[in-house]
Structures are given as C-alpha cells and as structure tokens.
Structure 1
Amino acid sequence: MSSRNAETADGAVRRPAPPVLRLYLLGGFRAQRTDGAPVADRWPRPSSRRLVELLAVSPGRVRHREEIIEMCWPDTAGTPAALGSLRVALHAARRALEPELTARTPSAYLIGEGALLRLAPDTVWIDADQAETLAERALRAGTTRELATALDTFTGELLPEHRYTPWVEARRERLDALRDSVRLTLAEAYLSDGETERAAATARRILADSAAEERAHRVLIGGYLRQGMRRRALAQYHQCRRALDAEWGIRPGPETEALHRAALATSTPVLRRPAPAGPTPPPAVVDALATSPFVGRRAELEGLLDPARPALSVVGGEAGIGKTRLAAEAARRAAADGATVLWGAGHDTAEHAPYGLFVEALEGWLAGRPAAERARAGAEYPELAALLPSLGQIGPAPGRGGGPAYERERIFTAVSALLASAAAPDGVLVVLDDVHTADTASLHLLSRLARRTQGSAKVRFLATYRPEDLPEPDPRRTLLDTLVRRGAARLLRLPRLDRADCLTLAADAMSGDDASPSPERVWELSLGHPLFALELAKATSGMLACESLTPPEGVRLLVTERLSRLGPAARRVIEAVAVACGGVAALTDVQEVVGATAEADDGIDAALAAAVLEERAVAADGRTVPGLGFRHPLIRLVCRERLSVARRRRLHAAYAELLLRRRPAAVDAVAAHLTGADDPRAADHLHRAAVRAAAVGADDTADHYYGELTARLDAVTVRAAHIRLDHAAVLRRMARHEDASRVLREALTDLRRHGSADEQVRVAAQLAETLARTGAPEEGFRLLDAYRPSEGLSAETVAAHWMARGVLCFVTGDYEGSLTAARAAERNTGDGDAARGAGLHRCAAPPRGATSHNAPAHALLARALAQQSTALALTGRLPQARATADAALPHAEAHGDPRLLARVLSILREHARRSGRLREAAAIGRRALDLADGCGDPDAAAFERANLAEIHLLLGEFEDAAALACDAVAEAEAR
C-alpha cells in the first residue's frame, strides 16, 4: 500500500489529509508547503506558474477554462491548440506543486470541476486573501491593535512581476484601497488614543504615497494641535490646501477647515505634554560644580529660591567670590524640585557671538533632547535656526524684511516661546553665568524676557556678574539696574565669607596630612575669598609662608607653580585649551591641535590631576561630546598671559584650520581664531560675522567685528569704504554719532581716491547729518558746500544731500531753510513718471501698513515730509504741518524702519496734543514709545517717555505721568 494511503476498518482506502500549500503574492510570487516538501523554484513551464497566479488573484480562486485561455493564450483561443496548452500547463502546475502526485490521482490543490478550475479553499492559503480578510475585520472593529496587525500583513505590492498584466489590476487596486483605508483608519485611531507620534508617522507614510490624501493631513494637523505646535498645524493646513488644489482643483473639506480655525484661535498648547517620570537632570556643569563644598550662603540661597522673588535674580560680586557655586546650588535644588534647568555662561574672549548666553543655554538643553523633539522645535521656531545648530539649519535664516529691529523682535518672541515650552510642570530656571562678559544683545534679550515673565512662576532667570567688570556707564549695567529699579529683578551683592565659614571651607578642602596649611593661615591669606581659600587650602604649608601674598597674586603664583610641575605635554594641552574660544574645547579638537598621541593623552591626564583643567560636557553640532575646560577663568587668564605672541598665533591658526574644515558655519569662532592668528583670511570672516550680527540686531557685536575688520583693510580701496559705511550704519543705530562721524570721514577719504562722484556726495551727506548730531553743524555746512550735487548724480543721492542740509538748518534754528531743503529732498526722491508710478509722492502714497520694494526712496520721502512738518509747525503753519505729517506716515510704515516710524508718530502725537485730542495723543505716543524701546535707542526712548508723561499729566493721570517721567530721567542720566 502506498504511504500516501491508509486502510479503513471496512477495507476502503483513505488518503491522509494533505499539507497546506501557502502561496505568497505580496512582494513577489513564491510557494511553500507546510510539510516542507520542495516546491519548484523554477517552474518547468512559465504557463503553469501563470495559471496558478491567475487562479490565486481571481474572485473565489476560480476561473472558467475559456476565461483562462482568453487571458493566457489569447492568440489561439477557440482552437484545439489552446485546449492542449491549458492541459499541458495544468499538468505541469500540479506536478510542480505536488511532485509526489501519482498518475490518475486528483490534486489536493488544483481542482477541476467540469469547465471550472479552482484552487482548493481548504488546502491552499494565500497571503493576499489573509490580508484582505484581516483588513475588513479590522476596519469593522476599529481598534489600533487589529488595524496595526492587519497593516502588517500588507508586505508588498501584489505580484510586482505582473505590474502591467491586466488580470492582476483589479485585485491589486482593491488591495491598495484596503491598505490605504487601514492606514488612514489606524492613523486616526492612534490620534484618538493620544499616540500622536505614531499617528503622525503613519500619516506621513500615507502622504509620501498620496500627497492629496486629506484625511492624512487632518491627522497631522490634529496631532500638532494636541502637542501645542500651532505653527506646524497651520503650515500643514496650507500644505494640504496646495496639494488638494494641485491634484483635484478643490478646497479642503469642512472638517479640515474646522481644524484650521482651531489652530488660528490657539495661542497655548491644546494638550500639555506628559509630565516626566522624575525630575529632569540638571546640566552637567551643575553636577560638576556641586562636587565642590558649599559652605555658608544659606540666607542667600533661600532668597534665590523664594517663590515670591521677581522673575530675575541678579547675583553680583568680585571674581571667585562664589557666584557660580551659589547659582549651581540654586539650580541643583530647583532641579530636585522638578524644574528644568538651562545653563549658559559668558566668556571673556575676543569672539562676541550674538545672544551668546542664550545660545549656550539653549544649545546645552537641546543637545540632550531627542532628535524628534529638536526637529519639532526647529520647525516651530525657524527664527532660531540660524543661532542654534541643534535645530538643524546652518547659516542665517531667511529674513522677512523690516530690518534688524524686526528680526530681533522675532528672535525675542521665539526664545520666549521656546523657554515656555521647555518648562516642566514645576517651571524652568535659566542660569546665565558671568553676564559681564556677554554681548549686549544677550542682555537686551534677558531684559525683555524678565519683563514679559514678571508675575509668572513658570520661567525664572538667575544671572551672575562682576561689578568691577561692568561699570556704571556700560549699557549692560544700565539694563540690569533698570530691571532692579522697576522691580523686575532682585539684586543680591554677594559678600566674602566670614571667618567661621572660611575656616570650614578650608578644612573641608584640605587633605589632612602634615603638609597641609592651617585653616587660620588660609583665612589670613584669602580674606574670606572662596576661590582663593579653596586653592590655598590645597597648597602645601611651605607655599603659604610668604607674608606679602595678596589674593590676586596668590592665585597667579598658585597657577604658575602648578604649571611648573607639569611636563611639556600637559603644558601644551593647557595652552591649547587657553586659546580655545571660551576656554572650553571639545576633546577631539584639543587632541588634533596638540596631536593625537599617547603623550598628549598623558598630558591631559596630568592637567586634570593638577586641577588646572576639568572634564566637561561640550555641546557641538547638536550633540554632547566630551571636552576640557579650566576650573576657573582666573586660571585661564594666567595661562593665556604666559603664552608668547608667536605661540598664541600658532595655536589660533591651528584652531582656525580645524574649524574651517569641520565647522565652517561657526563664523564667530573662525573669525576670532583667524584674527588671533593674524591670518589674511580674517578680514573676510570678520566681515561675514559682522553682517550676521547686524542682521539679527546685535549691533554691539557687529561694531566689535567692524572695528577689528577696518583695522585690517587697505585704506585706499573701495571695499574698505563700503565696509566702513556698513560700520557707520551700525554706530548710528547705536546713537554713537562721534564714532560714526570718524568712520564716515575715513570712508569719504577712501572714496576720494577710488570712489565715484555719486558715492562721495552721498557719503558727505551722511557725514554732514551725523555732524549735526555731534554739535558741529558748521563743519557739516562746509562739507555739503564742498560736495554739491552735479549733473548725472542719482536722484537718491541728490535727495540725501538736501535732506542733510535740512537737518543742519534745523539744528541751527533756520526753520525756513530747513523747510526749503526738505522740499528739495522730496522733489528728488523719485525720477519723474517712474517715481509717481512707484507711489513715491504724497498724492500716491502707499496704503498704511504696506511694505515696498523701493524702501530707500520711501525712507527719504518719509524723512523729508517729517522734516517739513516739523519746520512748518515751528514757523506757525500748524494745519499744513499736520497734513504733511499725515502724508509722511504711510511712507514710514512702508519702509518698515521702527526708528523712522517712531519719529513720524512722535510728530503726529505732538499735533494731536496741540489740538487737544489728548487720548489720541496718548495712543500715538504709546505706539512711538514701544517702537523706540524696541530699537534700543535710549535717547529716543527717554524723549518719548517724557512727552508721554506730559500727556498723562494733562489727562490727570498723575501716577502714570510720574512713572514715565522718572524712567525718562533715569534713562537720560544713564546716557
């Protein structure tokens, strides 16, 4: 008896149950049997495999023989040859699927039922059928588990080898439609279950295949709204709208429009992100600082943690007094209570990166966040992408026009929103260490944030600074003092330790052996200075025998003594870190500069053991990497002083080449190192850094770079003149008119040799106008007489000449002359019909709020009209003055310069006041004051405050008037 058969009790022969045949159609055809018996990989006849594939994709797995012939052998259909081909293919298919099949034995898989051929439903399993069944069942149930399982069964395209075969098309389209329905339903189910990340990932895969699938767009919009990403939600809606219009020529449906309206109405996150399981770890610098003893300062610490404190706490004290250690302890305590801690520090180096304090703090925080979260932040806050490499964009972000003041406002708003999003349930604490070494732009940003978050317990700031390095006239000191005076900040002046605390600190730091100095001796030499006490306590008693030591010299001698005990390899490492920007460098950078050798590694170990350097986590290119830094800036200063000029230049050159190769977009650091190396390429990179700083409103940083740059330029080149003109523009925005006039004189001298007449007249006009602000109008008149406009000059240059003459006449009291010159400037702001077509005359003023491609002409025209209005008012022609000021306003708005707009509004405010419309005058004055504050011009801000105070006084609002007047006096005194 055959092994395939079995005999029953009555002697009948019964076949055993056949193994299941598994046919895989998704991703390509293949066949397997559950008993492991081989199925032919290469079928003896292609027609036999095609027969099995045809039946597998047919409805019910069955086809009429004539249908099969029409589909497989259309050329011979209806002939005996076609029937013969079918019989041969059928026989070959059965033998391929069941090699053990004997003659005249029916197949367990491929069944003939009269004129029909069928794949047996009980013994043949097909993956496409299984996917279809699970998909339909999951769509009815609607649970994420079943939908995900069903989606997993769609493992590929149906029979990709028959991509263009007609009899596969209908089944393929049905499966594709089912798969898309499952994916869409799964994305929506994920969103309903609160799994926004999975929902978004699924929706993005759908859109990658079908960009106009509106349901997928709705999932993404809804997910963004749930995460509070309003900007991303709005951007996704517009992407959906564009895709639907391009694909179908239709608009989004009602559900999508409802989500759009919800996004427009949302200003805060719809749903808060889940709270972390435990406190967010503080920055590595906090943990590193917390390893040193914390002695005393209990009252100061409690004051910094007082919930009723203002948004900003400022800790002032001399170098090494313990400001950083106190800030670290406050940060550690805040982190333990659940707050998110960000840490940024100023650095006393040549580079002045715009908003450097906040860049370091935010970069350090972002470096520890998941890549997906950084990507979300980059999309939500594109204004910060040029400043924060962690957000993924290299180089300056594309601006929207409006000038540096507008860009600065966008940056301020974006930083505020990003800090609010960083706040854990218990808030966020931003520690800004050594703000006396920071750029002024960072202090302006801190001032804005402290005022905006006043009264909020979620975002707090802690800043430290050295009063001796931030004298009273410094604008950064003025900003801090103003915040303290207005109650937006609390100042804590950190004193030295008293005797008991100093003795405790020294005792804790000593090793306890016989060579250690006595705590009393440490107290005598340190006078309660914590850093000196710590350093002296770690020295030997013999080193402290000299009675003439003073704290600064003691630290200097201590550092020198430590360096002298180190070998050449360690000193080379220390020198390399001393020259690095900020005295902190990535470990790989140091190794490349000094040479990645075993000797260099020994030098690093020796420098760490000597407590000159310490290991730090450094944020580089959006990730945290090992790095090296000095234990205190004073140590670094001593080490830098010991370097010869030649050695310092060589190290700067090494860093510059390294950065140009690895991080060329770090223009500030590249410029600093090329400058330190006295490299000819420094001029180009200083220019790039200056332009970048000016573009983001960091005028003090731009001024620093321009100062370095002009000292390196050939004074007789046109390029030097143009760079000086850019520098002068920055200085004039900063109200440093004496410096601006000096730079403009240098530019004019250059242009006399190599510039055109048009350039000379235009620069002479700028210089004359600047001289009017420095109290030298007569010199300005002489200059304008020497550079009178001639035939062939541009209308803009002629207008600038007359505008400057009008300013000079005004400051000398010649108001009629000022009016005449301003009218001449107005006549020359355009060029005949072209000017009128561009809307540059009063009769064709642009709509209010509109911007213009012809911004320089709008600026000149607005200034000319404003000057005329002022002169008309001073000569008693008030109705004409008011009409002229009204005509100037739309041009000032079209230009977009907040300083110019503030000036025009100031004139309109005065007209409203003179006309008795005090409420209107107050509203206009408030708008002008807000613009003046945003420009960072203290003169304009003080002027607007004083005038607004007068209006409130006339209205009987005495408290408001007094507050404005006091602030105006304080700002004037600070200048």
Structure 2
Amino acid sequence: MRKDVAQHKRATTRYGEVCMSTLKISLLGPPEVSHRDHKLTFPDSKGLALLAYLATEGGVHERQKLTRLLWPESDMAHGRTTLRIALLHLRRALEEDASPEGESHLLITHDTLALDLASGIDLDLHALEAAWKLMRVLPAPEAVKGEVRRTLIARLQSAAVLYRGGFLQDFTLRNAIDFDNWVGMQQVYWYQRIEQVFDWLSHLQSAEGALDQAIDTVERWRAFDPLNEDISLRLMQLQIANGNRIAALKTYETYVEDLMTELSAKPSQKLIDLAEVLRSASIPRGSLKGIGKHISTSRPLLDIPFVGRGAEFSRLMILYEQACNGQPQVVLLEGEAGIGKTHLAAVFLDLAKAHGANVLEGRSFKTTQRLPYQLLLDSLHTRLKEEHELRQLMGDSWLAELTRLLPELRYRYPDLPPPTINGAFASSRLFEALARLSRALASQTPLLIFADNMQWTDSATLDVFQYLARYWTEQGTPAMLLLSRRTETREMEPEMSEWLANLRSSISLTRLELGPLSSMDVLQIARSLTEGDEAQPSRQGVYAGFQPSPQHVWVPGNSLGPRRFGEWLFAETNGQPLYLRELLQELLEQGILLPRLIEGSGWVFEPQTSILDDTSSDIMLPRVVREMILRRLTRLSPLARELLAAGAVLEHDFTFEELCQVAQLAPQDGLTALDEALQSLLLHESCQRRKGRGGVTYHFAGDKTREVVYATAGDARRRVFHGRALKIREYVDVARRGTGLPELAI
C-alpha cells in the first residue's frame, strides 16, 4: 500500500524530473486544504493553524517560537510535545512518510520547521500577491490599453475569484492571543491587496466597455465591505453608465439600510445628492434638444434610458477624478448631429454636480458673425449671480477687468477701478482675470466647464481656453474642460485642427468619438419601454386621468414582443439616437405605440404589429430628422446634389462611372461633386467591392438619407434618371451574359 501511495505521489515529466502532487491551500476565506483533489480534515484546529502559519510566512521557523505562538498556556516541555503530536497529525493528513522514495512538503529538523513552497504547493495568497505586484509596475488603470489591458483583466479576474472572504475567516484558536493578533494583521494586509485588485479590475473592465463585468466585480467587492461608501458610489456610477437608473437607486437604498442597521448612521451628503439626481432624472437635461417647437403633452411618457455610452461615461469619470487630484483635463466629445453628445454630457454633469463640482455651462450658436466670448458670457452670467460676494474670490483690480465681459458687475460694485485701457495689454489682463476666477472657483470645489457646439465657437473664446489650459497645468488647478463638437464633414477645419494641436501641447487632451448605438443597445431601449420599471410614472396632459392596470394586457396577435420591436427599431434607425427618439415619439402620437400604465412598473408601451406593414414616410421619417438631412443637402453645390440624386436612383453600391452616366456629368465635374459628397459624410466608400465590378463602390450614410435625396430630386428628374439607370443595367446584363457572370442588379 505504501509503495502504491509513493508511486501515486510521483509524477514524471518529459524531462524525467520528479514532481510533487499538488497541495492546494486556500486561506482567503474559511481555510480549505486539499491534497490530490481530496479535501483534508484535521483532528486538531491547531494543526491547520500551524500549516496556515508556515504557508503564509514562508521561511524556516524555530520550534520554540511556534510553541509559544500556538500553545502559550503550556510550559516549554509540554509545548514541544504537543507540537510533535500536531506535526504527526499534519504529516498523516498530507500522507507523507519517511521512506527515501517519499517526497515531503514539510521540511523538519530537530529545532526547526518549514513548508517547502517549491514542492508543488498551490497557495491562493501567492496568486493574489503576484497579481498585485503586476499592477504596481503600471502607472494607472487608464494608462493600460489594448492587448496589455485585456491580459491584465484576465490575470486580475483569476486573482479576484480566489478571494472568498477575509484571511482565515471564522477561524479562531482558544488561548492563543498572539496567533489571533497575527491573523488580524494578515486580514488587514490581504484586504488591502484585494481591494486594489477589485479597484483596478473594475476600472479596466469599464474602460474596455465591459460594463456588466465591471458591475459584477464591484458588486462582489461590496459583498465583502458593504459599509464602504466609496464602493457603493462606484457601483452606482457604473449602473448609471449602463443605463440602469433603477438599479443605482436600489444600490443606494441597500447601502442606506445597511448603514442604519449596523452603525445607526446616514450616508454622506454627496451620496444623498446623487440619489436625488437619479430620482428626478427621468429625462436628463439635453436629451430632448433639437426637437423643435412642437412639444406634445405625451412627451414626458417616453423615458428613454441612457444606454450605449458606458465606456465613454466611465472614461469621463476617470478623467474627472484625475482633474480633482490636480491633473487638469480637456475632453472633446465628437460626433454627428443627434448622436448623443449633449445627452452624455448632461448625464455626466448631473453626476459631477452631485459630487459637488463647480459647473459652468455654455453653448455656442450659429450666427452670421461669430460673437466674441458668447459662450463664456452664457456660462458666467448664471454662475456669478450665485456668488453673494465676488470680492472674496478676487481683488478689485481683477474684477474690474471682468467688467469688459460682464458690465453688470459695476452695478454690484460701483467703486471698482477702471479696466486697463491699452488694447493689446487689455486682452492679456482679461485672460488673466478669467484664469484667476477659474482658480478661485476651483479652490471651493473642482471646476467643470462644459462648452457645447464648439464648431461655432469664436476665435476669442478659443484663445481664452488655450490660456486657461496652460494656466491650469502650471498651477495644478483641479479643473476639467468638457467640449462637444458636431462633425458634418470628413475632415476637421484647419483652424480647429491647429487649435487642438496647440492645446494638446499644454494640457492632457482626450478625444471621444461617439457612434451609433448597437443593436443590443436598441434592444435594451425596447425592453425598457415594453417592460417598464418600478419608477414613479408621470401622468400629464391627456394621460392625467389614466389609472394603473394590475398587469399587462398583452395580445400576441396585436402586439410585438420586445426583441422583434428592437430589431425593427434598429433596422429603421441604424442606432442613430435622435432618429430613434423622434421615431418613437411619432409612433406614440400616431397611436402605433400604445401607452399603458401598469401598477408597479410605470408606463409600458405596446408596439402594434401594424408597424411592420406601415410604409408611410411621414411616420418612418419624422419631421425633425427630415429637416436635419435637408439642411445638410442645401449646403451642397448643385453638381453634388445632382450626383446624390443619381445615387438615390441607383440605390446602393454604385460606382463613380455609374453616377456620372446617370447624372450626365463630365469626369472632372463628377470628381468635384464626388469629393464634396464624401466630405459632407452623406456618401461613403463601401468597405467591400461588388463581385465582378471593378473599382470602388459607394453608398449613402443611411437609408433615410437616400430616401430624402430621392424625394427632393423631383418626379421629372427621377424618371429621367431611372431611364438612364435602366440602360446601364441592360448593358451590364448583356456584358455579364457574355462573360458567364451572374446577373448584377443595380
């Protein structure tokens, strides 16, 4: 039997070396020890304590020290005897023997004991320590990118899974105070390690866009430390970024309940303010921008969740935290009109306000002449009215310089000295006054300036921002400048490109480009609308008299399920947020999306199956979206519009030669028109070439863009262009039959 055991314990590698069978020791949580995949039990808890101590501390230990640690009540002779008995039980549990063929995890001499950690021992502490050391050589989570980030996430996840609770959780010894004190110190040490692992892992996962995984990580972290407010705050931020306001409120309520139960305490004012923002944020500010003058009484019903921007939102929060720590930041949100830049900024600003940020908001407007400092005036007017005594922020000489922008300050302080007269020097004094004002505001709470529609901002305001960026960096001002810019051309204007390059040389600049929502994001919106939530419903206008129903009245023959509805929405809108929101509103007002007030769920919307058969362009292409496309078309030259009309007749995947033939444009005129259409982003090059067709093909930015171009072309032009397109198709068909190629439909 002993020979069989010894042979079983040995494992010969391909190099002929003898390896030990694995001894697995798990000390993070209730202690567990397994040997050759069999869980071990110990007749005496002090034998397990001895093994845990040797594994954790490593190295060689004198028997006398171990005796005092584990059997302090015994004299030295009895203590050594008890240690020998415990050691005998431990060796039996590990199935070690004294034969020459046997291998031992324990290193035993007359006066010392040790655990051979190189003898095939799998210790969870080692894995956690290795993961923690891997983080320590890196600067910060946000600096880790690409494949390195994904590899680090995998390593940290493996370490996080090992943490089942505190070090030797629920394990104690009688009459061993020194051992209990040692366990207490180890618990603090290892929790600090796992806390940093959870922190890094959640940041890395959110930066990777894996918000669900990040939420799971922080929820697991919170389970080990439910009274830590920072963890609950992190969890709420991630849930908000994931578009789940209800889950964030539940996290807050759970934390409040735990805090009151355990400590009879209340959360911080910052967390209370955040909860209030969530309760009142059924439709975040800015989410309905650009809708137009017509506002239906039913509009409050459509509470479209904030989805699809989790990675960008998390990135904003990380950059804001850096700014709060004296590393000023500039962030530029970019994307086409209606893509959700203002919505993302509004949600972020509300959260920053709840955290106590000093927020200034301004917006540029398109005017025939760009008004100097218009954006700054918009933000400063409102903010400075809230300051009861500006002289506590700045001296009179600098307040006098601000009167150039804000003449009303002289009504508040008529004794201010006159501003600088010298024209060239006056601008420098004004910029310095604005910089000092920003530093004074940031000294109260971190400063956050949001400048919307930067594509229309005047050069004077750009110069001020350039000055502030350099000033903040030199002073270490806790400030962040958040910009949004609409992109309607393929290439950035040279002036803006040069300004950003200069800005990057003086401050940390991050550019976040927003694209359409994914099909899964649209499905989440569809489920939110059709399944509801537990939020308090809004009953206004014609819906004020609605009484809640106890349950859904779902008629399968008349209503679409959430998945089918989501697929239809994505097919119609391609995930464009403005179009999606306007289409839902149009469906609601046309009675195709039926509202129902469900008790405990709020407003629920039932899309009718007739939506699949309805081909009305007035419903499928809302007025706001149509007008937005028309405005972009009117900026084009007649040649470019003619080329686009030809493309609308050809529908999709058409070549340059086909466009010129249908529009009857000379090659040079066609090239000029094509460049203009591509620059406007209304037309794109196709990623794949059509089979059997040489050269690059082109397609419209969206089906709805093509529909608007087709409708505006006029009936006569469409008939002429269709005749030319038919001739091209007949020519291609003849050519294909001659070469044996399949028919090509244009």
The TM-score with structure 1 as length reference comes to: 0.26
The TM-score with structure 2 as length reference comes to: 0.33
**Structure with more relative contact order (C-alpha pairs < 8 Å, separation 6 or more):** 2
Report the structure number with the largest CA radius of gyration. 1
